[in-house]
Each structure stands twice: as structure tokens, then as C-alpha cells.
A and B are shown apart, each in its own frame.
Chain A
């Protein structure tokens, strides 16, 4: 019974929809009933995975119109004007979901009953920017993503320029579903695929792939479900140790300290807005310049984190591309930094040449800095700016001794011990561990990202005393001069490091040992700075 319904839903969603509309139910609005009905049919993961998934390998053009599809996407634009549709035709057929739009009711003389008009929310959604192939269920197919940019009709609405992606117009009829949707949110939209015009202010009307949503599911920021604390095959300390060694050996010329900091940085996230406890930004310095190849670190990290955007700063990129979403002619153009919450953004300065940074470039660089330090991104609208909260961990790779543009909370100069290079033309030079081990690594990082770390009262007291003691000692040593005294900023960083350290051990609490270890780690980092 259920299975036949499932088959029907997969094959003929429009018919099911029409049937549902024909069963009157005054208690609930049709859109809400539709969401529930289809949501229930595909409640199980097995059923859900049956739905054809839109992707670069299965682009909308390859599918027949009005087939049921699923699109895992990032919401890019919610500023589109809602659409008003007639929920019931004079013939009694239901409207919406692109149904019955094409029948010949041209001669319909009856007046429009405005009470039958309903609103449908229109948004623009794009493939999840920077999603690592391993984290998408499509990646399992083993198909190498095509390198040629997909001919997405509105490529200015994708954050990463000249990157293959899909862009789809999403029409949501259920207002309770549409209400909470914000830009950069991640959703699996399930609905009926059609090709509808995209309404812009320009004369030309472009037809774009459109999903008339039946129901949607929110996607977790880790994309793949994670647990904290997670269970591991081998002791977590070992997994962690191996992970650090692997990152150090493959990407950082054997520098384990840097690798450990990278590990902590990629796990950090926005914990609170008021007071602001934001992700730690990390600057790895001493990479040496490179014009052609990418740092190996980007290849290695793409194996570990689900969403990784690499922002290759060059004069050209800084001066001529957009970093911030901007509404032009009432169309929200995307920018490099319009990334989903939970993303890792690697800002690579290594291929920066000498030259002039234009005014736009300065603005762009400043935007990165602001996003890094405030975790908000100001979208530009005509005569106004709107601030949107972000949650992006930043990792800045600098060629020289320090970043010329950015102030990060943490700075780690690279001290390679082996002479394996830091750069590689492509990912093929990276030696991958066994799939099982790799999966454990991902599990460790993913779990750490959602960790909820607490601090016990006694540890808190210990930390306070420690801080006061240190300051006293420092001030007596410097005879009144405030030289190398531990500042409140230092305390804040240490606290955050301690929490991240606990998360990386999959321990739910900061203990005295972890605090000491965090301090030691920070001391070792600082020692390199002098």
C-alpha cells in the first residue's frame, strides 16, 4: 500500500497533488496539507533517497518536465517578489504548483474571486557552494564533476565565479515552510520540476529550471549527520594524533603544531552573538609565493570538511570580482562571501602580486576583515544595507611573515621539517589514508564542529586565579610597565582554544588538564612569533 503510494508519488506527483486537492478539507489549507502528505510519504531516508537528485550529473534538462526531483541547495536570494496565483480555477481544478496553467480557459468570462488568490514565495537556490564531493550523496557515484562551468542561466547568483553549479528557481506554496527560510540556509527542496520564466526587471524573459516545492528538509551545517561525542574504532586520542600527522605530512611539510592549530580552527564556530563568541580566525604564514599551484592544504582539507570555499586572492580577483551580495536592478547578485553557515573559507594570499588595489579592492578586502571579525555580512541594497549573520571559519594563508591585509586572532608561522613542497597542482599527489580512516577523521571534525563544551565551576575558578596570578607576576617583573602582560584578549583566546581542544578530544568539558594544554599550545605558538 505504502509502497504503491511511494511509486505513484515518484512517478506522477502532479496526479497525486490534484487528487489531494479534490478531497476538500476545510480544516487545513491545501499547501499545508501538501507539505504534510508528501513529507509523510518520504519520511524514511530510504524513500527520500529514491527521489531523483538534481546535480551537475543530472541537470534539469536531462529530466522530463513535471517529474519529481530533489535539490540540495543553498538559498541565495529571498528578495524576489512573491507570486500571486489563483488557487482554484473556475473549472474547479486547483491552481499552483504549475498545475493547470496551460489549459485553454482563455474565454473564461467569470470574474476573478480575489479570495481565491494565494501567495507563493519565490526564492533562488544554488548548489551548495564549496561542497566537498564526498559529502554529497551524488559524490558516491564516483563521477568526476565536469570542469566546464555549467551554463546556469544566472551565474551571477552563485558565490564562486566560474565554478560549475546549478541554479534553480524555487516556488514555495506553503507559507509556514517559506517563513523561516533565510539566505545561505541549506535545504533539500523536493518538488515538481518545470521551466518557468524568471522575473527580473530586464526586458528579456529567461526560462529557468523551477521546482514547485511539495516539501523541504533543512540540511544540517555538517551536511552529513554527526554526533558528539562520537564513537571511534580506535581511541580518539589516536585518531586525533593520526589526523594531525596526516595533515602535517601531506599539506604542511610535517609541521604538526600548525596542523593542530588548523584542526582547531576548522572546528570553531559562532557560539554566541551577545556576548560575541565567534570562530577563531587563523593565519598561517610563511607559505612562500606561488602563482600556479594551490596549497596542498586546500586539497587535504576538502577531504575533511563538508564545505570549503577557497578564495584565491590576486589583484584581479580583489579588484574586479564581487565579495558581497549586491542587489542590482532588483536582482540579488552573489559574492564570494555568501557562504552557508558552517563553511570553511580559505583565503589564500599566496598568489598576490605587486600592484594597485583599487577602491573596490580595498572595499572587498575590508569586507573580508569585517566578516572575519564580526561574522556578519552586509548585503548591499539600493540606499540601504542589510546585515546578515554568517558563521564562516577563516583560514588565511600568507606567503610572507604576516598577512598584509588581515588581522586574525591567531597567527602561526609555518616551520616545515621535511622538504616536501607546500604546493601541488592537483589533488592527485595527496596520499589518502584508507576510506575507513578518512571517515573517522571526518567524524572527528564534524562532531567537533557541533560540540557543546562546558566549563565546570571549579575549573572556572582555577582559570580566574591563574589569570590574576599571571598578571601580577608579569607586572612585578616589568616594574609597573605594561609590557608582556597577559591581556583580557589573551584570556578570551585561551578560553576559546581550551574549548576547541576539548572538542577535538571529543570531551564535553574543559578540564584543568585541557586548560594547561591549551595554554601550552598557545605558548608554543607565541614562541614562534618572536
Chain B
């Protein structure tokens, strides 16, 4: 007997059994037929240990254990009293049935499974498939601690999954895939046996390393590694935090929560000095190493439980502890490694077969849960004898006759469905994410098989980071032909799934239930909060990007660089680009903690921008561009309020804003002030969050912008809506010799060569700019300094003063608190752009400048040449009000002058007014004046259209 690994299997009786069986089977090596599935002994063993009252699982565990040991059932049977006592089927059947079945069965296998499938081992008849409960792992070795000598050796490269599962996804029933262990190897070759086939990797070393790792890994190792690689880490709160034995904690937590999955970051394995080698082994030979880890994990779970039991730890005293331990023993524990650097799925190649890989992708299709029959349960109709048959190479061998010799009837065995055992499986098609697809290429797709706890974790549309084992399996070239080995299909057996695979469009955590939020370690512990951030090897890349962004932000001209990078193909319009840039960064959302019902009022941080201007002034191009870089950017034209919900937390670009329906407009009112969208459907009103900034473009009422009219007259939008925009820009096509020349130069230069060189100007490319903005939005939340606050006040007062005119007492409103709020948001956006944690003087000054520039063009009343904010707020400027007042007087005068004749023709009034006035009388203004007079009861309008007559009322 070779030296057993230094592990102590806790369940003593089983232990004894195994020792025993080991010895026996060694003697009986070569008797492969005995291990065939369908052997009722193993499955039928109730083996209740330590009072566990979960017979099913217990039975199973026992079965697994036995099989794993490769124990022939027959010899062991006699030694185990429990076995006899609890056996549901007649013990009489065993001695005869098993051998009797063997030849028949193997013959049958020869016929219905492809011969190519057979193992490469000397054994011609397949021995019992080692039943491993994990669908994702196809263990090629049987492993239990005390039986290393009996560990079977087999060809690890047997791609024997041939079965189509009918899911149309071309994935074999891998979970049940035939994994044939080789015939037992004589125990006088201990070294070879203990190694992973074809390598010098010693399994006992592997076990020891993993045991060391679990028992010895401390966060400090990781912290050191992260430091050395420039990965930002959270500092430890106390020195003790760095010294805790992390995974022992996890193990205890698993015991408390009943979890059976342990997620392990492979980086942790790598950085722990004693398990460094294990990292490489795990990646190269996951099929062998993961089961070993599973076993060690279970051993340690039991050990730890017994330790705690002895120590009388809380919840582990006395009977309770006993039960707990029994429970642990009955469970199957799974190690789920993750944290490999992800590779592009098109770079996976056949040489990666059976290795641990990590890829990212988008779920495009998922089959329903496929119940995978693991163990079939048969009962003889005549004598009620029952037999369990395990799946073998994807097939269940139905017993042709009752195995009980006394009965021995042919064709009486029927399957009892609800006593069969099933496992969950699902096939997922994973498509490359758009950001991973090389330019101009179509996306590739791979199949993914997920099992047990991982089933139904991912839904179509999710982005995943998958750690799994890459498989290549033969397929038929042609359905008519039997050839199998010349063509292969590849897929991945997932061992770990993480939702939200980076990119700009990571899945929205708010769309999943609270506990699903910690989805990275789907079912299981191990990648707890602090380390699940970016466990996919993107750490260094992320750090690199952050470094670059920080460096960029140090530049003095960062503001110019960034604003020039916004829609670089568009000529000039610098201030507009700057305004949009600050919009992209956004202000901070604030809520007043106290006061008012639920936490006081919220102040939006979103900046809204409206572009108004002549057609053909590249407004749409700007919008299109912003839509591309903005986080969750949505582009819509005119209609559609659904877009607003979609862009929650992003920028909604609305082209042809003026063409919007009234209903949508009212929705926009709500969005822009309340940040919500209310949707009424089926009598229920739902309010959805729509914390979105709006970038809108509108065309003037006529085809051209009339510079002689104020903005409100040029756009067909209610002033209430216009006033909700922080910045309103006019994009006009004005004739100016200098500008024209520059423009012509710019344009003509583009056409000088046939393929114009890309401008060498210092600008950021789109993805870079996008990353910068994203980083700033997520990491920088500037606070207004006292200085800046004072400056804000000063600027506001200054802006208000613009309306004062010392020459007369006329008061025009040039700024309201709305403008103050806008200024605050813009200052915050500017500070964010600098990645500054504080809003400083320069931020406020730039915000003030931008506001002033925008107001200067948009809020100027062209008739008075003065800035009047009320023009935007109410649609009527003070100049206009004065004008109407004058007109009213004139109209009244005119009517009074008529004397007895109280009727005056409408057209006459207009004509006369025009004669009196230096400016042409605006019809709209005139209508308003008449309407007001009518309301006052001073006049009455009779007649229609041209025949209208204004009648004085006394």
C-alpha cells in the first residue's frame, strides 16, 4: 500500500470500509465488469451515519464514496451490517445479478455507443464510471483521501461526449459524460498512480497545497500582491484584518448558511507562497485538481466542524453539533475557482481543451432547465424488486430482466420516475460583447453548459464573466456517416459565473433582487464584497486606465482637450461643446437630509442643454456623437418617452424636440424637474425613475431662425419647458467674413487630398473620452468650498444686476434661482471634469461665463437689445410687455376717437397702428392685446376673419 495522503477522512466506519475495499479491489484488479452501473449494491445502500435523516442524500454519498474508491460492491457488502439491514432490495440478488449482467451489458454498450468512445486503457470493458456530482467537471481520476493507491489512472484526453441532448445547441450531455476510469492499477506503482496522468503532478502534493492554502491564506498576501501590481485596495481597518485566516472564516460561514459552494479567487492561490504551484495546476488540469479541491474542502469542513464541536463553539454543542457534522458529511461541496484574466472567445483554440479559461460574453439564448437524469429507479412489476441504474455515457441502461434470481422475469422492470434522481443543467449561447468584437467583424458565439446552482443564474441579455473548462468533442461530419474523430465542436463547462462583465453597459444591479446583487459568487461564499469588484484580471488594466485618466486630469489644458474631443469633426462651436462636456460630467445629486417627509427635497444634478438653430448646422451630428459617448445614452427623435426611462442615469438625446407631441412634452416637464416618469396603464399609475440629463435640438419655426425675433417666438415650445434647460444655445449660420474664411479653409483642406489625413490635433478618441467621463462620474463627487460658495453668490448677484438699468426704473429679470441652481451644477460638472474633490473658484467662474454666454444669445430681446430672463421663463419679455401696454392705449384711443361710431374694422385698426408705429405691428401681440381688452369687457369682437369688427362697449 502506498503512502496515503496526510488526510484523515472523518467518517470512521466508511473509512474502514474504504481501507478494506482498497485492499480487496487491488487484489481484484482487472475485474472491471464488477463496477458497472446498475449494480444495485452501491445505490441501494442506505448507510445512515450519525443519525442523519436524509437517507436519499446519504445513500447517495455513500454510493459516491464507494464508486469514487472504485470499490466493487460485492465484496464489501458482507462486511457492512448497515448495508444489509437497510437494503431495500433483496440482498439475494447481488451475488448473482452483477456478474450475470456484465457480459450482456458490455455487449450492449458495444452496440449502442460509439466504439470510438472506449477508453484507451487496456481494459476492454468499461469499469464503473466514477460518479461525481459535478456536471461541470469530468473527473478523470477517482479520488478519496484514503485510497490514493486505488486511484484510477486514465486517459485525460478522452473527448467522449457524443450525445446530443436535443436542445439544438449541440452540446453533449456532458454532465453525464462517460468518464471511464481505467482499470485498477496495481498498487505497486504508487508514484504514477498519485500523479495526474501524463504529468509529474502529484495529487497528494496538490491536496496538501490546497489544504495549506485554506488553512493559511491571509488577506495580507493579496494586499501585498495588489500593492506590487499597483492595484488599488481598500486599507485594512485593523491590523488584525490582514491576519485572519480568510477561508476558514468562509468555511464557517458556509456551515452556518448551509452553502456548499466555495468561490476561490485564483489570484489568492497564486499569491499564497505555499500554493503558488497549485495555481498553474488548477489552470492546466482543472478536471483533476478541482475534484481534489472539492474533497479537501469537504474534509476540512468536517474537520472544522469536529474541532468546533469539541471546542463547544456556538451552535455546535452536543447533539446539535453531531447533527451538523452528519449534515456536512452528507453534502457535496464544490470549489468554484474564478479570477483568471479573461480572454477573447475567438482566441480560444483547441490547445486550450480541458484547461480552465475565462471569457466574457453576452447571453443570447438559454435553454430551459434540462433535468438530467443521474440515477434511474426501476421496479420489477412482478416481485417489486427495485434497482437503481446510474447514467453511463449519457445513457441509462434499462435492465432487460429482473436481476433477482428468484424472479428473473424478462421485461418487467419499469421506471419509477419520481424516484429517479435528476440534476439541473442548462445550455447557454454566449455571444461576444460588442466591445470585444474587432472592427468590422461579426460576433462569435460559444456554447456554455451550466449545472446545478448555476442554472438559471443568467438570463438572455446578461453580460457574464465565465470561468470554465474548455471542451472539444467530436461531432459527426455528416449524419449519414459514422465518422467521429475528424471534426470537433467546442464548448465550455462553466464552473463559475459572474454577472456583469464590465464594459460600459454592465448589467444594472437595480434590476436584480437584493440578494441577486451579490451574484458574482452565485450560490456560495468566497468572493465576498471586498474582492468581487473586478476579479477578472481586469484589475491591472483598470488600474492602468485610472492612472492614465489621472495623468490627463493634471494637464492644464484638459478642459480644452476634452471639449475639442467632443464631436471633433464639427467645426468651431467651442462654447457649445464645453457646455455639453459639462453636461456629460453632470453635477452631483443632492438631497437635504432633514426636513420634509422622506429625507427632504432632492436636487437634481443633471444639466439639460437645448440647441436651437438653423437646419444644417450639425446639431444632429452633435447629438449623435453625445449619444455614443454618454453613459446609457439614448437617441430619440421627437416622440417616445420610453427613452427617458431607458436613459435613467444617462443622457437622453432628443432630436427635433419641437416636433414632439403634447403628451410627450408633459412627460418631459415631469422628467426635467421631478426626475421621474409616471406611466398610467390599466388604472395603475407607476412612477419610474428617470434621472436623466436631456440634450435636445430644435429647429426654428420657420425654416430659418429669424434674428429679429426672440427665441421663444422662433421655437414652437412652451416657455415653461424652455426654462427647464440650464443652457440654451443658438446655433446660427451667420455671415462673417473671418469666420467664413476659416470655415472655407477648413472644409477645402479636407478635400485637398483624396484621403484626408486625420487631424493631428490633440484630442482624445471616443472610447478614451468615454472612459474619462465614466470614471469621473463614478469616482468624483465634488463639494463646494466656502470660497466657491461666495463666488456663486457674487456671480448670481451680478447676473441679477444685468437687468437693472440706471437710466430708468425698468426692472427686467435676468436671473432667477433657477439660474443659480444651474450655475451650481455647472460648477460641479467643471470640478468633476478636473477630477477635483472640491468645487473651487475657477469652476464657478467658468460656469458663470458659460451661463452668461448662453444667456447673452438666447435671452436677449432683439427688439430692445437687452437680456431678459423672463422672456425665457414666461415667454414675454418686459420690452414686449411695454409694447403691448402701448398698443393697448393706442387701440383704446382709436376706439374712443371713433365717437358715435363704436365699430371699427379690425383691419383698419391694424393699418392705423402700423401708421403710428415705427415698428411693424406684430399680429400675435395685437391678438393678445385685443383678447385682454375683451376679457376686461371694454370691447367686443364680432364677425369672422377679415370681416371682424371691434365694437366698443360702454
Contacts and interface: CB of A to CB of B under 8 A. Distances in A.
B735 A472 contact: yes
Interface residues of A, number: 83
Contact of A102 (B364, B483, B704): B483
Interface stretch (B186-194, B217-225, B442-450, B517-525): B442-450
A107 B350 CA distance: 23
A27 interface: no
A475 interface: yes
Given A101-B477, A106-B115, A384 B431 contact: yes
Nearest to A330: B445
Interface in A447-490: 452-455, 457, 460, 463-464, 467-468, 471-472, 474-475, 480-483, 485, 487-489
Contacts of A460: 748-749, 752
Contacts of B170: 199
A54 B624 CA distance: 44
B451 to A, nearest CB: 21
A499 B751 contact: yes
B232 interface: no
A480 B732 CA distance: 13
A119 B429 CA distance: 20
Contacts of A383: 362, 364, 431, 460-461
B441 A78 contact: yes
Contacts of B349: 119
A472 B170 CA distance: 70
Please provide the 4 A-B residue pairs with the shortest distance between their CB atoms, ordered closest to farther.
A117-B350, A84-B488, A79-B442, A475-B735
A483 B704 contact: yes
A355 interface: no
A182 B733 contact: no
B487 A467 contact: no
B733 A101 contact: no
A386 B740 CA distance: 38
Contacts of A483: 704
B175 interface: no
Given A117-B351, A275-B750, A112 B758 contact: no
Given A78-B441, A381-B442, 8 more contacts: A107-B116, A112-B159, A383-B461, A464-B741, A468-B740, A487-B616, A488-B616, A488-B743
12 contacts: A83-B487, A112-B474, A113-B157, A201-B169, A330-B445, A384-B443, A385-B434, A389-B440, A455-B752, A472-B737, A485-B735, A488-B747
Interface in A279-318: none
A474 B433 CA distance: 52
A81 B444 contact: yes
Interface in A67-111: 77-79, 81-86, 89, 95, 100-103, 105-111
B751 A277 contact: yes
Contact of A197 (B159, B478, B732, B737): B478
A277 B479 CA distance: 51
Interface in A100-148: 100-103, 105-115, 117-119
A517 B753 CA distance: 20
Contacts of A480: 707
Given A101-B487, A487-B733, A271 B441 contact: no
Contacts of B155: 111
B444 A79 contact: yes
A404 interface: no
Contacts of B163: none
A48 to B, nearest CB: 28
A455 B442 contact: no
A45 B488 CA distance: 37
Given A274-B569, A455-B752, A382 B350 contact: no
B168 A201 contact: yes
Nearest to B706: A481
A111 B752 contact: no
A481 B485 CA distance: 79
B714 to A, nearest CB: 13
Contacts of B362: 382-384
A480 B706 CA distance: 10
B120 A111 contact: yes
B431 A105 contact: no
A272 B755 contact: yes
Contacts of B461: 383
B403 interface: no
Interface of B: 114-116, 118, 120, 155, 157-159, 168-170, 349-351, 353-354, 362, 364-365, 429, 431, 433-434, 437, 440-446, 460-461, 472, 474, 477-479, 481-490, 569, 571, 614, 616, 704-705, 707, 732-735, 737, 740-741, 743-745, 747-756, 758
A117 B159 CA distance: 12
A468 B741 contact: yes
A276 interface: yes
A11 interface: no
A454 B472 CA distance: 55
A386 B752 contact: no
Contacts of B749: 460
Contacts of A105: 483, 485
Contact of A114 (B354, B364, B756): B354
A463 B114 CA distance: 78
Contact of B118 (A82, A109, A196, A199): A109
B120 A109 contact: yes
Given A86-B488, A455-B751, A471 B118 contact: no
B735 A471 contact: yes
Nearest to A332: B442
B485 A386 contact: no
A404 to B, nearest CB: 17
Nearest to B434: A384
Contacts of B114: 106
B750 A277 contact: yes
Contacts of B116: 106-109
Nearest to B168: A201
Contacts of B485: 86, 89, 105, 108, 112
Contacts of B478: 101, 196-197, 207
Contacts of B751: 277, 455, 495-496, 499
A151 B748 CA distance: 52
A119 B350 contact: yes
Contacts of B753: 454-455
Given A272-B756, A383-B460, A472-B737, A491 B429 contact: no
A8 to B, nearest CB: 25
A205 interface: yes
Contacts of A108: 116, 485
A474 B737 CA distance: 12
Given A108-B485, A488-B747, A118 B442 contact: no
Nearest to B618: A488
B488 A455 contact: no
B192 to A, nearest CB: 17
B431 A381 contact: yes
B437 A386 contact: yes
A471 B445 CA distance: 55
A453 B754 contact: yes
A317 B483 CA distance: 45
A189 interface: no
Contacts of B437: 386
A95 B748 CA distance: 57
Contact of B440 (A89, A101, A388): A388
Interface string A263-277: 000000001101111
Nearest to A98: B477
A472 B169 CA distance: 68
Nearest to B758: A274
Contact of B479 (A205, A271, A464): A205
A115 B355 CA distance: 13
